[in-house]
A = this chain, B = another copy of it.
Amino acid sequence: MLSPLRQTDLTPTVAPFGFTGPCLRHARDEEVFAEGDTADYVYQVISGSVRTCRTLRDGRRQIDEFHFAGDYFGLEAGELHRVTAEAMTDTTVRMVRLGVLSDLAARKPHVARALFRLTVEGLQRSQDHVLMLGRKTARERVVGLLIDLADRTGGGGELDVPMSRQDMADYLGLTIETVSRTLTQLQADGVIAIPTTRHIVLCDGVALRRLAN
């Protein structure tokens, strides 16, 4: 049952579970759910982009993950959401009641496998994040994010950045000023171009991969 997990019997960018559920639109910066809410649903991004984050009492914020079309989020081990989910752009999400997903997973082994696989992949992404935050420099982190975004949104070297500089900083464990300075420096070095704030071009992929570590 685990071995089949290794085969991609579904395309993660399309509905992976073959279920239907109500779709909800969220405006930019609107909350999908908050830390502490009852976790009755699992969500899938249909279009747009979502950030999941946690905030310490004194306001320090850490973004766990960015979610794009096809990604799912909101699955918890306990009864409550441990993170807050917010739309970064105008976004449509599909809501799947936990009970419905459970039934489906129970009836259809390939759904259970897909769900499990997605969770393990999420764990591995989180471990990459840990390595980055624990041991990489500001420059390595910023480059790493750019490469990750390019790989996931699949526009080649052309990046439409859906998040603010503050979001980038809170994902990378840096300040907004450091992110901005680092991007400026990368542009000066000729490895990226920043035609507009929300549009970044990766000029030299090879050099970037080297910088990312």
Contact = CB atoms under 8 A, between A and B. Distances in A.
A206 interface: no
Contacts of A2: 98-99, 101-102, 105
B79 A6 contact: yes
Interface in A165-198: 170, 172-173
B134 A62 contact: yes
A119 to B, nearest CB: 5
A19 interface: no
A26 interface: no
Contacts of A60: 135-136
Contacts of A121: 77
A164 interface: no
How many copies make up the complex?
Answer: 2
A71 to B, nearest CB: 14
Interface in A129-170: 129-131, 133-136, 170
Nearest to A104: B1
B78 A135 contact: no
Interface string A67-100: 0000000011111001100000000000000110
A84 to B, nearest CB: 12
A173 B135 contact: yes
A25 interface: no
Contact of A116 (B98, B119, B122, B127): B119
Closest 6 CB pairs of A and B: A134-B173, A133-B133, A1-B102, A2-B102, A126-B126, A1-B106
